[in-house]
Chains A and B, each alone.
Chain A
Amino acid sequence: DVKVTQSSRYLVKRTGEKVFLECVQDMDHENMFWYRQDPGLGLRLIYFSYDVKMKEKGDIPEGYSVSREKKERFSLILESASTNQTSMYLCASSPLAGRPDTQYFGPGTRLTVL
């Protein structure tokens, strides 16, 4: 079974802090994704990566950056957290770059910014 893990289930940070959310997948997938989930809005793509050190902006990249130094690990960075970044963050992976396929999701990190 594909396993996608996220470093924290719950996180509380203060405004202005730098926040790192980590995601690891164990199935050698090429693609990795970060979404945020807000009630009524579904999931919105923040960034995705199709290879090590490669990244593409999604629909809502403002205020976020990402890092992918190893194939299995994809980090989401909030350089200076703000209250409007309070949300559920979901990481996902899928097998092959450039091909539509199932995305496998981690359990999510619920981030609260005070």
Chain B
Amino acid sequence: AQSVTQPDIHITVSEGASLELRCNYSYGATPYLFWYVQSPGQGLQLLLKYFSGDTLVQGIKGFEAEFKRSQSSFNLRKPSVHWSDAAEYFCAVNNAGNMLTFGGGTRLMVKP
């Protein structure tokens, strides 16, 4: 069965610092990978996705992620964090057909 692990439940960074959120997946076939963000009281918004091609994908709000097949990872990065980036971030993998399997989420806090 497929699974997604986000090892960090909480992360705190200072505003302007760089950010990396980790995501590891377990899935036998070529994965379709997603990062979503959830601001307080809101639904999930897609940040970026990887289906094929270039393993470094760019998303909205200055985020990027790199697919590394050898490490079964899809880590999310941002070079300079803004206070408005404080939210919960979810990594997800698409299994057969339509269904997504989500990681447990990483809550990001930003210090001024």
Interface residues of chain A, those whose CB is within 8 Å of chain B, are 4, 31, 33, 40-45, 48, 50, 58, 90, 92, 94, 97-108
Contact = CB atoms under 8 A, between A and B. Distances in A.
A33 B34 CA distance: 16
Nearest to A42: B102
B60 to A, nearest CB: 12
A42 B106 CA distance: 9
Contacts of A90: 43-44
A43 B97 contact: no
A36 B62 CA distance: 29
A45 B104 contact: no
A4 B43 contact: yes
A105 B34 contact: no
Given A40-B9, A106-B43, A107-B43, A99 B97 contact: yes
A100 B36 CA distance: 15
Contact of A31 (B9, B32, B90, B98): B98
Contacts of B70: none
Nearest to B90: A42
A98 to B, nearest CB: 5
